[in-house]
Amino acid sequence: MTLLTTSAQAAPPPPRPRSRFRLRKEAWVGWGFAGPFVAVFGLVFLAPIGYALYLSLFRDRLIGGTSFVGLDNYADALTDPRFWDGLLRVGLFLLVQVPVMLGIALLVALAIDSGRLYGASFFRVAVFLPYAVPAVVASLIWGFMYGTQFGLVGNVNDALGVTLPDPLSPSLVLASLGNIVTWEFVGYNMLIFYSALKVVPRSLYEAAAIDGAGEWRVVRSVKLPAIRGALVIATIFSIIGSFQLFNEPSILQKLAPNAITSDFTPNLYTYSLSFAGQQHNYAATVAIVMGVITAIIAYTVQLRGMRKG
């Protein structure tokens, strides 16, 4: 686990060798502090996952009841076009939306941190505000604005006599969703980057400044390397978030039922399998496969992100 190498390196090394006894005691105390988190985590994450693993080995049918099927569900999932189409779709979403969102967030964070903005603290608050808007409300607002009949797009069409493409048509709906997600989380990521920038030791800037480094130079050689940990972790959480895309499409589905199908994203697919189709076992299987894929990608990003430095 090298996720925190930068910070671990920043922390001073243990000052002196410790005795066996000290280590044993430290282990107990360490677990004592971490224990509550681990226990609750076990209850609300690991236990359901374990249960899902168990469920994934069975098949429950309306007629005929439950039977043990071994790994059949996994074989089905790996060849299920509805699952893979959804995965490709969120993969595409991820490749475009995450860089755009993190890029904007980083630029705003750097701009605020640079001290070259008028009204920097207002920016900081205002850009963060959308994060405080529940996904339900955000999707309702954007869903209204996207309306070509009576919404804002419709208003613009009427006012300018143009025909803007329908943001909720099948070809554009993914981009429209990306826009909502970007809107919701740009401020959140900005704040993470900004707070990481804030704890970069000022002495580093000073040293660079004394060396005569320009502003961009400081950004490239001091600021970005210093917040690499935050960049990587934000990327990882954004990747997980993209792969789990659910709230926004599920709410917009009412407005664009034909563009956002029930298997639009893997998470929507497991939801409809589980809830409309009562296929809990297969839903659990798809969720586990999805989790494994997501985790592999997240770990890869983390390893590469950390190695580059």
Site residues for other proteins, window 156-175 (CB under 8 A)? 166, 169-170
Least distance to other proteins, CB of residue 56, Å: 10
Helix 120-128 and helix 173-198: axis angle, to 10°? Answer: 140
User: Considering beta carbons, is residue 36 or 160 the nearer one to other proteins?
Assistant: 36
Structure tokens at 71: 């790994």
8-state DSSP, 132: G
Place of tokens 């499409």: 249
227 lies in the site for other proteins, by CB under 8 A: no
Question: Cβ(118)–Cβ(124) under 8 Å?
Answer: no
Give the strand pairing for 58-61 and 65-68.
Answer: antiparallel
265-284 binders of other proteins (CB under 8 A):
266-268, 270-280, 283-284
Give residue for tokens 């190695």.
307
| Of positions 19, 79, 121, 163, contacts other proteins by CB under 8 A | 121
Residues paired with residue 58 on neighbouring β-strands, in sequence order: 68
- State the minimum distance, in angstroms, from the CB of residue 36 to other proteins: 5
Calpha distance 259→233 (Å, rounded)? 32
Indicate if the alpha-carbon torsion angle 116, 120, 126, 131 is positive or negative. Answer: positive
Amino acid making up residue 288:
I
Tokens 């048509």 correspond to 169
Q: Given the complex with other proteins, which of 208 and 224 has the nearer CB atom?
A: 208
* Residue closest to 114 by CA, chosen among 197, 196, 188: 197
Site residues (CB under 8 A) for other proteins, limited to 236-265: 236-237, 240, 243-244, 246-247, 254-259, 261-263
- Span 85-114, contacts to other proteins by CB under 8 A: 104, 107-108, 111-112, 114
Q: How far is CA 151 from the centre of its chain?
A: 29
Q: 């008028």: which residue's tokens? A: 118
Shortest Cβ 247–other proteins spacing (Å): 6
Nearer to other proteins, 74 or 244 (CB): 244
**Length of the chain in terms of residues written:** 309
Residues 236, 199: contact at Cβ < 8 Å? Answer: no
Q: What's the CA gap between 30 and 11, in Å, rounded?
A: 17
Which residue in the set 65, 163, 307, 308 belongs to the binding site for other proteins (CB under 8 A)?
65
# residues contacting other proteins (CB under 8 A): 155
What's the number of CA atoms in the CB half-sphere (13 Å) around residue 95? 5
Q: Does 52 bind other proteins (CB under 8 A)?
A: yes
Of the candidates 155, 220, 300, 304, which one interacts with other proteins according to CB under 8 A? 155
Task: Find the binder of other proteins among 205, 225, 228, 306 (CB under 8 A).
Answer: 205
81 binds other proteins (CB under 8 A): no
The minimum distance between CB 283 and other proteins, in angstroms, equals 5
Of the candidate residues 19, 20, 21, 63, the single one contacting other proteins (CB under 8 A)? 63
Residue from 208, 221, 224, 225 touching other proteins (CB under 8 A): that is 208
**Cβ 85 to other proteins, closest distance in Å?**
11
Sole binder of other proteins in the list 70, 75, 92, 116 (CB under 8 A): 116
